Amino acid sequence: MTELLVRNACVIDPIRGINGEIMDIAIRDGRIVESVSDRAEMIDARRCLTLPGGIDSHTHVCGTKVNFGRYMSPEDMRAGRTRRRGRMHVTSGYYVPTTFGNSYRYSAMGYTTLLEGAMAPLEARHTHEEFTATPHQDMLANTLFDGNWAVMDAVREKNIQKTAAIVGWTLNAVKGYAIKLTNPGGTEAWGWGEDLTSIHEPVRHFEVTPAEIISTMIRANELLRLPHSVHLHCNNLGKPGNYQTTLATFDLVPDLNPDRQTLYATHVQFHAYGGGTWRNICSKAEEITRSINNKPQIVMDMGQIMFCRTMTMTADGPMEFNLHCLHHNKWSNHDVELETGSGIIPVTYSKKSAVNCIMWAIGLELALLTKSPWQCLLETDNPNGAPFVKYPEVIGLLMSKRYRDEECATLHADTEKRTSLHALEREMDWFDIAVMTRAGQAKALGIINQGKGHLGIGAEADIAIYPIRTDSLDPAREYRKVVEGFQKTRYTIKRGRVVSRDGEIIVDGANATFWTNARIPEDLRVDNDPEFIRRFQEFYTVRMSNYPVQEVYLPRGRCVETESFT
């Protein structure tokens, strides 16, 4: 039995409605309890800001394309390297760090749970291997279904039950957590070097549209009673004028679940562009947030970009090729048979580029114009918009109008004309930030019941204590202290153990991986369907028996069982 008592913590715990109360937190064997014995180890938080461990609900940190980003970028590996020190392994890389680099830096920022944004089922084993080497965060994997042949066939047949059965079998086989759709239909079209330009354009041969895929998958997701909703990267990412696609997509979404959203729209900044060319691109954040503010069934995340050099990596292969044709830098692409695609290119977001400045402003506008912070979560689509180490700066910008104005003064002159950021007075408070960086994520991912995102009795003791005194710090004025404070916790506690102190990792980690297992009625199971098996054996290049990820790849797997089809 191990016990820990955190005293004098200034707690903000949005899920329980606690906002800045000074309290003690008792921990036994990794969970929060009523009280501990007087033999418990003690930490004095000294009235510092204490939050549930941070949760990133959309980041790219593990798996085939992330590793390829490292593989092709020795220049970035040299950019951020640290020695072996104490319990810390060597790390390399700044915008695509090695797994230990990701894990240590997230931990230093108080993050204890990460959702990998895109895992191709065929290559799931790789993602899980890297999860094991990312020891200080619990991990979940979004599983890609955007170009899944069996799913598209079932969608064409308008068969929601069969769609659900395919999804359920696949998630179980690859130990995935949730459904991810990246440019649905578009990744299959990219198999022929093409893309789709509208959500009503059919995919060649399969004769289904993105709108049909999205609508059917949303219903299949609810039939499976999955903890998270469908997680969508909309079509037409990064194209001027794409906000109409985004709005049309949002209009497809019914409100089907009382506990959480029915659709999670990711990195919406990249999907909120007006105009028709790179010359007249402008912000449509107002239109997008008007839609969101009227649709409690949708939660989005920002997809904030920051000015720096970084790497874009996504399953959206055609988008990456288009971007490559603009940047003329190196380009990698990796299509995955019968499932999805992916692309990787390095980019530099520059203040000299009007387009980049507008993108930067749009991300902030989205957050500031969304009334409920539970509906617009903070992230950068790491590393696409910026590496996650930039989150504290994003927090600073959201909390301080002065910081935003000072930044805006350094930007391309067109920014003010084509966005409305300068007119937004809103300054977020500590509670809003706690929602946007952990509580909102826990609710959206459906992991509150797993003891994540709050500090109630029975919750997992994942806690971040920041060197920030909310009673004396004025974030609007002293935003630099805010940024600094969120860069490095005083303590990061993971499952009841202090893992990081003042940015230094002090133990070997032992994370868990969450995955979902939906029970599917015998007569609907695809592994009993001879036609499904025949097509699998004929067109995949691995045998069906070698496809599922063995339990050995999840040394601390946590299965979330669902009573589906009820």
Partner 1 sequence: MIVNDVVCPFCGCLCDDLELEVKGDRVVRVQNGCSLAEATFMNDTRLPAPIRRTTTGWKEIPYDEAIKETADILKDADRPLLYGWSSTHGEAQSVGVHIAELMGAVIDNTSTVCHGPSILAIQEVGHPGCTLGQVKNRADVVIYWGCNPVEAHPRHMSRYTTYATGFFVPDAQRDRTVIVVDTRRNNSSDIADEFVQIEPGGDYAVLSALRAIVRGKDSVIPKKVAGIEKEQLIRVAEICTKAKFGAIFFGLGLTMSRGKYKNVRNAIELTDELNRHTKFVISPMRGHGNVYGSNEVFTWMTGYPFAVDFARGIAFYNPGETTAVDILRRGECDAALIVASDPGANFPRIAAAHLAKIPTVVIDPHVNATTSLSRIHIPCTAAGIDAAGTAYRMDGVPIRLKKVIERGYPDDAEILKKIYDRLNGSKGP
**At its nearest, how many Å lie between partner 1 and the CB of residue 56?**
18
First to last CA, the chain: 40
504 binds partner 1 (CB under 8 A): no
Residue 334 vs 438, nearer CB to partner 1: 334
Using the contact rule CB under 8 A, the part of the chain among 75-83, 157-165, 441-449, 489-497 near partner 1 is: 75-83
Task: Pick the binder of partner 1 from 7, 8, 23, 82 (CB under 8 A).
Answer: 82
Task: Pick the binder of partner 1 from 57, 59, 99, 415 (CB under 8 A).
Answer: 99
Of 104, 54, 51, 107, which Cα lies nearest the Cα of 467?
51
Judging by beta carbons within 10 Å of its beta carbon (0-12, 13-18, 19+), is residue 521 exposed, middle or buried? Answer: exposed
* β-strands 111-119, 138-144 pairing: parallel
Using the contact rule CB under 8 A, the part of the chain among 5-13, 127-135, 273-281, 513-521 near partner 1 is: 127-135
Judging by beta carbons within 10 Å of its beta carbon (0-12, 13-18, 19+), is residue 551 exposed, middle or buried? Answer: exposed
Residue 72 vs 252, nearer CB to partner 1: 72
Of 291, 232, 293, which Cα lies nearest the Cα of 262?
232
**What x-and-dash track marks residues 276-315 binding partner 1 by CB under 8 A?**
----------------------------------------
The tokens for 163 are: 């769609």
Q: What residue type is assigned to position 428 of the chain?
A: M
Using the contact rule CB under 8 A, the part of the chain among 7-15, 223-231, 324-332, 432-440 near partner 1 is: 324-332
**At its nearest, how many Å lie between partner 1 and the CB of residue 101?**
8
Centre a 10 Å sphere on the Cβ of residue 522 and count the other Cβ atoms it contains: 6
Angle in degrees, CA 381, 194, 200, rounded to 5: 80
CA distance 557 to 551: 8
**At its nearest, how many Å lie between partner 1 and the CB of residue 72?**
5
| Ramachandran class of 47: left when φ > 0, alpha when ψ lies in -120 to 50, beta otherwise | left
Of 389, 304, 392, 309, which Cα lies nearest the Cα of 349?
309
545 binds partner 1 (CB under 8 A): yes
334 binds partner 1 (CB under 8 A): yes
**At its nearest, how many Å lie between partner 1 and the CB of residue 231?**
23
98 binds partner 1 (CB under 8 A): yes
141 binds partner 1 (CB under 8 A): no
Task: Pick the binder of partner 1 from 46, 158, 279, 330 (CB under 8 A).
Answer: 330
Residue 43 vs 189, nearer CB to partner 1: 189
Residue 94 vs 243, nearer CB to partner 1: 94
129 binds partner 1 (CB under 8 A): yes
- CA 315, 319, 321, 323: dihedral to nearest 10 degrees? -120
Residue 39 vs 328, nearer CB to partner 1: 328
- 136 and 54 Cβ atoms separated by less than 8 Å: no
**At its nearest, how many Å lie between partner 1 and the CB of residue 120?**
9
Per-residue CA distances from 401 to 349, 396, 404, 428, 474 (Å) = 22, 9, 5, 9, 12
538 binds partner 1 (CB under 8 A): yes
How far from chain centre, in Å, is Cα 489? 21
92 binds partner 1 (CB under 8 A): yes
Using the contact rule CB under 8 A, the part of the chain among 214-222, 275-283, 293-301, 336-344 near partner 1 is: 336-344
**At its nearest, how many Å lie between partner 1 and the CB of residue 181?**
20
Q: Is the peptide bond before 121 cis (omega within 30 degrees of 0)?
A: no
Residue 53 vs 186, nearer CB to partner 1: 186
- 342 and 65 Cβ atoms separated by less than 8 Å: yes
Residues at the site binding partner 1, with contacts judged by CB under 8 A = 62, 64, 67-68, 70-74, 77, 81-84, 89-93, 97-100, 122-123, 125-126, 129-130, 133, 190-193, 205, 321, 325, 330-338, 344-345, 508, 538-543, 545-546, 550
